Structure 1
């Protein structure tokens, strides 16, 4: 029985507080045939020394260093050139996977003959405490739905290189994950998520998602520069985006404590 290699792309930048736990969550996977490609984006803290020490003990972990700080998009693209796996998966340097994440996803892809999937995920704070919040998604996510809201958590997406090839996104510095999923959904039209939480997303005080103004700015850039829309149409798209954020997406954010 074929056990395909999964390539895990992890950009890092000044991640000394979190990177060890992130790597351990990969090492704890029940699915063992993986490689973890970490591209450090010119960190000034102890990230490189921490990863180097771990990599010496586990040859599935490979570290590459950028010569200057270029952003997570460039780091992910650099990692993509190093990947050897049939499947490409993503995990940022402060997020965590649950132990059966890869096993469940690979089985789901193979059993349903799918080239792409993602899952729900739970949220934790900067200290790693669970926030009793689960982010879900439509059970049959269409390109149109994704166009107005990024329902796919970057730490949960996985795609088949045999079907798509290696997909490079480089038009703007932020929101590359959304652009990647849009590229994929434009080809396959819709995707089925795995309807359970397989990962923990860490909400940090200085993150894009924590700054609503920055989030709006970067999302507008997706419509303006990635899609190439003119100013007026991009503003109309942002109206649809805001409508989705205010009235539709909240339906997919669950209070897990209340549901127990």
Structure 2
């Protein structure tokens, strides 16, 4: 095994992307886990160095943009995790099953909250929990972890209604033949059922097990039952188009968190009959025909004997999926959850006070487009009152990478910044104004520079202003690459005292916090901080590249406060001559 591990380490070197492992501690066969991975990989895996580890598999599984390691034993899984050293490990069943969860110490996201009741916190260092539905069945030891609900989503464009061209009615039962999915009591009910015009088709069986043989032995001789075997995700739309309904007979004692089979059937315009379980209702709503008992499930199927009943139920199902499901948003939200759990290197600090919603939305999109992924946004709502601004803040705060701090009353820029600074997790803090937009590579460039220059405390960059009347870009700033005492001495008696663009700044949080953060001047709090940094013997540099578009408009903070260059010069003179007297004035 040691030789294999060394070979794998050479085979998959780091490529700059965060490394993500999906750990599936069961046999990877047709079913929800496979569908979830297929959906996510298709949309988001290119952003991550993705590896899928599973203790078993039936046949080759290929997921776009991911590397699959299948048929692994417990010791092999642990060795691979140790060798691959993921930045994040997503455990899809965090119990002691196969001993896999007991020795891993990477940052985890724990999927499926019901299983946490069985997992003492000592078994892992978990970052957060996410689930397919809003369950509160969480082990007491995990209550402090944030729970993010990510409902199952599918692409309605992939599964479309079509006309049936065969004689007879076929009801599909989709998924692996496991007692949790197709309980013994349901098999007995099928044996006693009068099928009428219906056939039952089992799509999927999974690995050969005693229970699979039990089911086929019981039902194989019934003329109205057939077994079609496993179906890959790419073939599933075609398999569903040959059905008239889908039945989900999941065991009532099983904590089902959702059903891809149900959603895919609904998207295909098929009626769905399902066991009445919380997870199914959460993900499918009231559209399926629900029943609690096995005989009731089969009786509800007979309610669909007539074409009109099937058509009405199918149209309702399709409409529900089209209205409620967005696979692109779902995959992106998963990816955002993973990013939020990463060891955060950069906190983006952004105060907001009644910023126009359109500007705020544009700013947020520029943050989401960053090529550097390990960030969080600390958004301080400094007592906003504009309804559109508040609504946009709430929309942005739905992203798991966003930490929202909401103040009841407007406190002013310095208190808002210092409060946000105290809540930042990152070693580096990037300032951002809510009405500006940054270049996609801004964070990447600044992080790289500060990694290479450990003696620099604050790093700015050049910007281009956007004229508020013409929406045209003005010429870029040309601030010096190094801000020294000598430079400030030369400039402080002139009108040219602007040497650092505050919205472009990335700073080292600990050093700035040790200096007391932003001084609470009435104006020019940023300038006061820069001077404190220089006088403390710390370094300020600027990148020569433009990394931000700065919006000029009548309501921006600097304009509203009536700051003029002369006032800046007065502050510089006062602070430079009397650094110990950098008093705090009312904001």
TM-score range, shorter chain: 0.7 to 0.9
User: SS in structure 2 opposite 1:68?
Assistant: coil
Which residue of 1 is the match for residue 258 of structure 2? none
Report Cα offsets for 1:61-104 as digits up to 9, x if no partner: 12211121121111111111211110011101111110000000
Matched, 1:136 2:484: no
Q: 1-side partners of 2:519 and 2:419: how far apart?
A: 11
Q: Is the 1:171–1:225 Cα contact (8 Å) retained in structure 2? A: no
Partner in structure 1 of residue 345 of structure 2: 5
Kindly report structure 1 stretches of 4+ aligned residues shifted beyond 4 Å.
Answer: 1-4, 208-213, 223-229
**Size of the alignment, in residue pairs?**
229
Separation in 1, partners of 2:560, 2:520 = 22
Specify every segment of 5 or more residues in structure 1 that has no aligned partner in the other structure, as ranges. 230-260
Cα deviation 1:168-220 (Å, max 9, x = unaligned): 22331321111122122222354331111111111112446558963246426
Q: Secondary structure at the match of 2:529?
A: helix
In structure 2, how many angstroms separate the alpha carbons of the residues matched to 1:193 and 1:93?
21
- The answer to which of 62-71 and 23-32 deviates more is 62-71
Tell which has more relative contact order, 1 or 2 (C-alpha 8 A, sep 6+): 1
Rounded to whole Å, the distance in 1 between the matches of 2:453 and 2:563 is 38
For residues 214-242 of structure 1, what are the alpha-carbon distances to aligned partners after superposition, in whole Å with 9 as ceiling and x for unaligned? 3246426634775685xxxxxxxxxxxxx
Distance of aligned partners of 1:131 and 1:210 in 2 relative to their CA distance in 1, 3 Å threshold: farther
**Superposed, which structure 2 residues align to 1:109-258 within 5 Å?**
109-113=450-454, 114-126=456-468, 129-146=471-488, 148=492, 149-165=497-513, 167-188=516-537, 190-207=539-556, 209-210=558-559, 214-216=563-565, 218-219=567-568, 222-223=571-572, 229=578
Greater CA deviation, 100-109 or 73-82?
A: 73-82
Question: Which of structures 1 and 2 has the bigger CA Rg?
Answer: 2
Cα contact 1:121–1:197 (8 A) shared by 2: yes
Q: Distance in 2 between matches of 1:224 and 1:185?
A: 14
Give the C-alpha shift of residue 138 in structure 1.
1.6
Aligned equivalents of 2:414, 2:346: Cα separation in 1: 20
1:112 CA drift (Å): 2.6
Normalised to the residue count of structure 1, the TM-score between the two structures is 0.77
Instruction: Indicate the larger mover: 219-228 or 68-77.
Output: 219-228
Partner of 1:85: 426
Q: 1:41 to 1:128 in 2, by over 3 A?
A: farther
Alpha-carbon distance in structure 1 between the residues aligned to 2:412 and 2:470: 24
What is the CA RMSD across the aligned residues, in angstroms? 2.8
Tell whether the 8 Å contact from 2:352 to 2:380 is kept in structure 1 after alignment.
yes
When structure 1 is superposed on structure 2, of 109-118 and 10-19 the one drifting more is: 109-118
CA distance in 1 between counterparts of 2:400 and 2:546 reads: 29
1:188–1:41 CA distance, 2 compared to 1 (3 A): same
TM-score, normalization: structure 2?
0.36
Residues 204/65 of structure 1: CA separation in 2 closer, same or farther (3 Å cut): same
1:20 aligns with 2:352: no
| CA shift for structure 1 position 165 | 3.8
Distance 2:470 2:401 in 1: 25
Q: Which residue is equivalent to 2:190? A: none
Question: For 2:364, what is the secondary structure of its paired residue?
Answer: helix
Structure 2 unpaired stretches of 5+: 1-13, 15-86, 88-342, 579-587
Q: Distance in 2 between matches of 1:65 and 1:213?
A: 26
Partners of 2:380 and 2:557 in 1: CA distance: 20
Task: Report the Cα offset of residue 19 of structure 1.
Answer: 0.9
Cα pair 1:13 1:40 within 8 Å, conserved: yes
